[in-house]
Amino acid sequence: MRGEAGTDTVAAAVAGDRPAFDALAARHRRELQVHCYRMLGSFEDAEDQVQETLLRAWHRRATFRGRASYRAWLYGIATNACLDLLARRPRPRPGGSGGPSEVPWLQPFPDRLLEPPAPAAEEPDAVVVERETIELAFLVALQHLPPRQRAVFLLRDVLGWSAKATAALAEASEASVNSALQRARATLRARLPGDRLEWAAPSRDPSAGEREALQRYVDAHASADVAAVADLLREDVRFTMPPQTQLYEGRDALLGFFERQVFGPEGPGEFRLLPTRANRQPAAANYVRTAATSRFRALALDVLRVEGAQIVEITTFEPRLFAAFGLPGSLE
């Protein structure tokens, strides 16, 4: 056995054995999806590009020469598939705030899909998705990098590729790859929150403060309690709703929104929230019931950034990805 797959399985896949190829694809599909998601910022686009990657890999299977691992070969195909898509996509909005509203295609990623499909002993190559490499603030910052800088940064600093291997994939010199990496690091330092090292701990498990804040957030919606929400919010809290450009900054501004458009006369109705996880962050699936309906319908997904036990950022997404989170479309 090689580290990532049996040589017999790889040889069979390269020779055109479809079951062998499908077995390799299944083994690496999840980590390729995370890589494409980091490149693109969109869960749905990432799914599409994984499919494109595997289609290209099957048609080009005879080009695998074994100079690098089969896994690295797939990563190379996935990276180029994403670069092809990014060449047709507009750049993020130049709003300057660094928030999710600058990236209208941004979507959350379900934590349930971040775990490796087999124990580490059986998957020695499995990439553990640490919190700081999947959080929304990191994803937004990545989207402001030029596509090739983004690819170099992810391959070098997130996946741990060597400069030589990255240069081979990029068909560039090691010096140019190292230069791109330094520029990418500088851009990310400028765009990420100044206290990033305090909140982006490598732990994959929710902290006690996150669990407490999420439950209080759920309870506050159930009772339409603006005061309870106020107690949860830090003074400099931010609230965004991509793809909309609307941005609320500060506790007072956000409480005004809750009073009028969430719990007040302009609100959609009675709330019920289900706790979940997205991007290694606490999240809540919002359901709402009006006087004219008997069921709670899916409304939105709120992804929270919590420090201590206070909410410092809320990013609200449309409910189109509820199924990917294993969430129902409605509740009794």
Segment 150-160 shows an average pLDDT of 95
CATH no. of 7-199: 1.20.140.160
- 181 φ, ψ (degrees, to nearest 5): -65, -45
Q: Do 7-199 and 208-331 have matching folds?
A: no
Burial 68-93 (b: 16+ CB within 10 A, else e): ebbbbbbbbbbbbbbbebbeeeeebe
CATH no. of 208-331: 3.10.450.50
Length of the chain: 332
Condensed to tens digits (0 to 9), the pLDDT of residues 169-178 reads 988 999 999 9
pLDDT band at 281 (very low <50, low <70, confident <90, very high): very high
For helices 70-86 and 43-59, give the axis angle rounded to 10 degrees: 120
Q: Identify the residue whose tokens are 């949860």.
A: 232
% of the chain with per-residue pLDDT over 90: 75
Segment 314-318 shows an average pLDDT of 97
- Domain layout of the chain by residue ranges: 7-199, 208-331
Say yes or no to pLDDT of 137 above 50. yes
Q: Identify the residue whose tokens are 């999240």.
A: 283
Say yes or no to pLDDT of 227 above 50. yes
Condensed to tens digits (0 to 9), the pLDDT of residues 71-102 reads 999 999 999 999 999 999 887 766 555 578 88
Give yes or no for a contact between 58 and 21, defined as CB atoms under 8 angstroms apart. yes
Least confident piece of the model among 29-43, 117-131, 140-154, 188-202: 117-131
Q: Looking at residue 52, what is its pLDDT?
A: 98
Segment 274-300 shows an average pLDDT of 96
Mean pLDDT of the chain: 90
What single DSSP character describes residue 110?
Answer: B
